[in-house]
Structure 1
């Protein structure tokens, strides 16, 4: 089973944001720091989920266990429901998850999600670096 740790972070709410994705594929580790642009923290969490699912689908992973420190993401997946604009993002995530043989999400405390958190914070810095180049 492939374990996927995800985290979305924003420097401000809203602010420059990033997704951190840490994948353990039977001892082979993948790390992804993905700048997301300017958004709210909860929105960044959903985008981290979507980006991780896109990676899993593109890599043809079939049995995946996601870990998140976002209770909102965990509950939305369990209930298959999210309020307001997050409903569209949840729908996109659920469509991607349907392409996997087995997909589930487990909530973990932030202390257990440090790798994904560090990657998300790195993505924020990358986001800021890209913005400064454009100015």
Structure 2
């Protein structure tokens, strides 16, 4: 069983932001984080999940993802994502990341658990610190899809 803990942050929404992800399986533990110069909180929440799943080396894993993002969890658990996909994401944001999520999620058996943010959950608190710190770095990455779409008024 692999556990993935995730969080995303954005200052300004849109603004600089980042994600934090913890992967844990038995004695194995790994932290991931990256910052972007212009993004949104929802993009970073979803990116944290994607990056955690992409970091898994072997397909077919049983994975539990812990997130404080109702956006991410409800989209999957309440099957909103299925409807968005059928409608070609008409009027919906983050299509690029949702498609990326679908590709990596189908490789594993993934279940989601919602955790209340900023409520003392140790791994969630650590992911929050990673996400905030990543968004405050000097050399932030460019979220090119988001910046292109926002310049066209699509985001």
**TM-score with structure 2 length normalisation?**
0.74
Q: Does 1:97 align with 2:105?
A: yes
Kindly name which structure, 1 or 2, has the bigger radius of gyration based on alpha carbons: 2
RMSD in angstroms over aligned alpha carbons? 1.7
- Give CA deviations for 1:5-46 in whole Å, capped at 9, x if unaligned: 011111111111111001111132111121233111112111
Unpaired segments of 5 or more residues in structure 1?
Answer: none
Q: Distance in 2 between matches of 1:36 and 1:65?
A: 26
Structure (1/2) with the larger helix percentage: 1
Residues 31-90 of structure 1 show CA distances to partners (whole Å, capped at 9, x for unaligned) of 11212331111121112222112112xx22612110000011001111151560234422
Quickly say closer, same or farther: Cα 1:80–1:93, change in 2 above 3 A. Answer: farther
Query: For residue 28 of structure 1, what is the aligned residue in structure 2?
Result: 28
| Equivalent residues, number | 126
Aligned position for 2:130: 119
Structure having the higher strand fraction is 1
- The unaligned stretches of length 5 or more in structure 2 are 85-90, 141-155
